[in-house]
Amino acid sequence: MKIKIVLMFFLLCIFSVPANAANIDEYKKDIYESSGADKLHEFLDEESEEFLKRTGLDGIDTQAILDFSPSALFSAVTGVFREKWKEPARALVSAAGTAIMISVCTAIVPDDEKSKSVVSLAGACFAVSTLFKSVFESVRACASCVEACVGFEKLLIPVLTALLTASGKPASAISYNGASFFISESVSMISESVILPVTGVAAALYLCSGIMPEITFNSVADVIRKAASYILSVSAALFSGTIAIKSVIASSSDSIGAKAVKLVTSTFVPVVGGALGEAFNSFAGSISLFRNTVGIFGIVALGAICIPVLVQTLLWILSMRAASAISEMLGCRCCVMIYNGIAYICSMMNTLLLFCVTVFVISSATVIVVAGG
């Protein structure tokens, strides 16, 4: 009789394995859909999707991440440079032509202060008018990119929170959810209420210094620009430190809880208690692998959103620096101030975008690394 019972139990264990595996696969699929991971792609625009395809990471796939090579990323970034260089190059040619025109006009007008001031004022206004639309569109693209990053991060946070909970790390999930939403709202508030208005004021001061050289606002604009940079640096350090500390503490709590569950199962469930504990660890590990894959995809997607705008802004900075150097060589002081001012404004927007991306990437990476698995 005992032999029959043991045999029946053995057969039951054997034939229940496929059902359990099927249930686990179905549960993982349900988690993928219910967490919202399948909707991350829908948020990305065509340009970001194209960048992801060039890198080979256009889906949430663990194997694609393992096969990723730096050469693919380099090729994708090079492609962005090839697409974005034309407008800054045209602006450089236009700016250089304006500087040459002002230099020639200054040389042929009567040699008196009033005539030269009129030429300088007219040339500065012409320089501003030729570049205003393009520069404004570039700045607006940076502002829109910051909003897109914040929106994508707010979509990614609930996904990683659900996956953290499903992988047996509820404390980390609660900590990450609260800290990340706070950081997202703070980044949005800092960019909209502080950095963008400050950038507008600095841009006006730089342009006024170029149009009216006798009234110099460059020092005030430089102070504003440096203050904005300090605000972003301090904010990035605070946000990164906050989420790192909370993640470490929450991970320790989850580790203690998991060990307690395994101990109770092994102690109070006879015969199969240890097996159940190992099965729980295996299942949690598979969910953790999927969570890390989603987190890495989120980081890459943030890069895909920002890199095209960062490249475009960088090209604008380089073109305006080159135009400023040409203007200085020709002795066109008003153009030097205007082009340097535009370069500073583009630099501020690049700094804001890098701040946004860095904070969000550190937030996701901290969860991937500290949460373990």
Query: Residues 4-36: pLDDT tens digits?
Result: 333 343 333 433 444 444 455 565 566 666 666
Provide the token pair at 270. 């006879």
Query: Residues 257-305: pLDDT tens digits?
Result: 655 555 555 555 555 555 555 555 666 666 777 777 888 888 888 888 9
pTM: 0.81
Can you give the residue ranges of every domain in the chain?
Answer: 62-371
Question: Nearest CA to 77 among 308, 278, 257?
Answer: 308
Could you tell me how far CA 332 lies from the centroid of its own chain? 38
Per-residue DSSP letter, 373: -
Q: What is the spatial distance between Cα 17 and Cα 157, in angstroms, rounded to a whole number?
A: 34
pLDDT at position 267, please?
Answer: 59
Question: Nearest CA to 372 among 275, 247, 262, 260?
Answer: 247
Residue 363: partners with Cβ closer than 8 Å, 6 or more residues away: 153, 176, 179, 180, 183, 239, 240, 243
Contact 37, 294 (CB under 8 A): yes
Low-confidence ranges of the chain (pLDDT < 50): 1-22, 373
Residue 353: partners with Cβ closer than 8 Å, 6 or more residues away: 142, 145, 146, 149, 306, 309, 310, 313
Single-letter amino acid code for the residue at 241: G
